[in-house]
Structure 1
Amino acid sequence: MDLDEFLRLNGADVDLVLAGARTIVELGPDDRLIAVGSLAEGLGNRKSDVDLLLLTSRIEHRGASPDEVRSFTAGRSLVDLRVVPEAAETGLRERLAAWAEAGWNLMVAADFTPSEMLLLHRLGAGRRLWPAGASSRSGDEVLTTQVGRLKLHIARHMARTIQVDMAGYREEGDAALLVYAAQDLLGHAADGLLAGSGFTNPTPKWRSRLLDRLPMDWEQSLQLPVSGLRPSEVYWRLHRAPAVATLDAALAHASRIAAFARAVFHWAEEGLVHGAPAPRRLGRSSGPSSVSPPVLDIDVDFHRVDQGVMIGRLNDFGQTLEMSVAQFAGLLWLDNGGDLADRAGQATSNENLVLDGALAGLVDQARQAGLQLPGLEPDGESAGGFGARHALKV
């Protein structure tokens, strides 16, 4: 439900909302009144309320203090209005621009609070109600791209911490914590997928709804065998916890999610950070792969270097591997259950993919470097009950 439909069902319209706002604050010619939140983004329902932001440079607001939320009704609709000083908005935008210019560094958390992240998103995604005749959208493309990068950075930074925790829970034999951590990782992977697709809303409750807005061919842009499922359905299936909290089942669950997250984050970074979307992949996995084991361990992550990719285990002083972007794409394909023969059959001459013996050799290097999931035999069969790893593929 969008804003207009919601207001109509509640005996109101935008003009009535503007009249109510004027009972709390003056609306000057240089002010901007923006409808934000679920209704402005078409995510609301009959139980939603209307959220407004007033961006103003004026000091006096007829009794409303800066950042204070005031409420009123328009028909049967509850409306919350927040005043944001223009100086605060400008300062936040400048901080975001400076952060974006500083370079991509996952070692340091981005210095933005959750409320600041939400405000930045709303500045770009809101619907402008005042002044009359202004553009219906409140933001601009540059802001949306920067907020998308910020959302991806937060997801990547948090995901790396969770991956380290997952490795620790495995060593402790704590199956339950391993499952819960993996599900947290999946949530951040969903944020990365949405950020790379232009959806900057940071609120976790909207992940599934926003995933439904992705196109049906979403998997073909990632390093993923095509399941034909909607992204929200993949998210649901990956989130489903094992019926019994055994360590084998928990590790299989965590491994599937870690593989999915790596593929998502690589694709999103290529587009949002490096300006070169990952090559389009074609293929369909008709069932569990018969030739490819899970390649990378749950705490293996990647880092872009020059024109290639370096992979290694987080918080570990072991061996790392450096490879081309195409080689890493091949590892991600196998890591997510893709069959090497299927991939070779779908490759086109202009994709510059590394296949067959070269990729098999890279898999062997990953095994020798200790980057492969423990408990796997060289032929890809599991010694620890990981045969269900690829059960997601249909």
Structure 2
Amino acid sequence: MAIIVENILENPEDILKYLNNQEVFHVYLAGSLMEGFGNDRSDIDVYVICENIPQQFKSNKDNVVESLLWDGENLVRNIVCNGIRYDFEYWTREDFHKLIDRLNNIDFKTEGYISRFSDSEFDLLHRLKFGKALVDEEAFNKLHQSILFENLGFYQAITASEKFTSYVEDIQGATLSKDYGSAFFMVRRLLELAVTSYLAVHGETNPNIKWMYRKIVCYQERTGDKELLEKYLHFQTYPFDETTINLFVKEAMRFSQTLNIKTQNALRNNQLS
């Protein structure tokens, strides 16, 4: 699949021919393959930033248009060509630039509410970090350099951390009432929140939980910190055993709280900088 991506970057016309000659400002590859998480079965994700989103498309003889799906104001178009699936995601130039402005202008020093990105908006911003232009590379790179992607990590850490306290309280309540089964599964969710927040302040912002292992590996390769992966695997593979579950819950909570403290310190340092 890496060879296919390289071929597309070298021959962008193989992708651009599906755009029906509409006016576009940016077309770029993104997604799990560009991030280094994908595999031979991964889709090719193509983002199209245009003045107006097309309402209909012509079918080419060498592809099949599987579906057109509106997700809010943006459109996802699925095409299969020669056994490879391409996901084209269309955004208007206006919405695209408004989204980037919102990210760049987040005020982390405020004590007020920070407005939320929708799932599709956050996903777009995360994938944009790894985007490679298929048209006007110079303009795309200039735009890319102007985006404060660090803000995305702090935003994700804050929103994930907000759920942390309520999970701690629920786990304590379940443990006190000897509902160990609920506590067992809730503390795993607590761990996921703590790890997600901690990784986010270190730049790993992929929102899809299925890539948690790969995110931790990337963090480990950059920092040399092996403990996070070892602890995460230990707690996620711990067997359900009512004779030891209370100890497991306490250990998992202690580790999660340690991560949360480190995350909050990083957020505090950012607010003070």
Tell me the TM-score normalised to structure 2 length: 0.80
- Alpha-carbon contact 1:125-1:139 (below 8 Å) kept: no
The 5-angstrom pairing of residues 244-393 of structure 1 reads 244-246=241-243, 249-275=244-270
Higher RCO (CA 8 Å, separation ≥ 6 residues): 2
One of 154, 158, 178 as aligned partner of 2:163 = 158
Q: Give 1:39's aligned residue.
A: 33
- Which residue of structure 2 lines up, in the alignment, with residue 63 of structure 1? 56
Counterparts of 1:141 and 1:133, CA distance in 2: 13
Distance 1:184 1:60 in 2: 38
Distance 1:269 1:25, change over 3 A: farther
CA deviation digits over 1:36-81, x for unaligned, max 9? 211010111011110111112x126373686221223455421110
Q: Distance in 2 between matches of 1:242 and 1:231?
A: 19
The aligned amino acid for 2:236 is H
Q: Which residues of structure 1 form unaligned runs of 5+?
A: 221-228, 277-305, 307-394
Identify which of 175, 199, 216 aligns with 2:180. 175
- Judge conservation of contact 1:32–1:131 (CA < 8 Å) in 2: yes
Which residue pairs with 1:5 in the alignment? 3
Partner SS, residue 28 of structure 2: strand
The separation in 2 between residues aligned to 1:194 and 1:147, in whole angstroms, is 12
Cα 1:99–1:136 change in 2 (3 A) is closer
CA pair 219-16 structure 1, distance change in 2 beyond 3 A = closer
| Equivalent in the alignment of 1:54 | 48
Bigger fraction of residues in helix: 2
Q: Please state how far the C-alpha of 1:27 moved relative to its aligned partner.
A: 5.8
Aligned match for 1:194, one of 194, 199, 221: 199
Counterpart mapping for 1:119-130 below 5 A? 119-130=124-135
RMSD (Å), alpha carbons: 3.1
CA distance in 2, matches of 1:141, 1:170: 48
Distance verdict in 2 for CA 1:135–1:231, change over 3 Å: farther
Pick the aligned partner of 1:91 from 88, 91, 98: 98
Question: How far apart, in 2, do the equivalents of 1:98 and 1:265 lie?
Answer: 25
Task: Kindly name which structure, 1 or 2, has the bigger radius of gyration based on alpha carbons.
Answer: 1
Q: Using the aligned pairs only, state the percent identity.
A: 20
Q: Does the 8 A contact of 1:121 with 1:147 survive in 2?
A: yes
What amino acid maps onto 1:261 in structure 2?
A: S
What residue ranges of structure 2 are gaps of 5+ in the alignment?
58-69
Which of 204, 207, 213 is matched with 2:212 structurally?
207
Q: What amino acid is the match of 2:151?
A: Q
Task: Give the TM-score of the pair, scaled to structure 1.
Answer: 0.57
Does residue 21 in structure 1 map to residue 34 in structure 2? no
CA contact (8 A) 2:104 2:147 kept: no
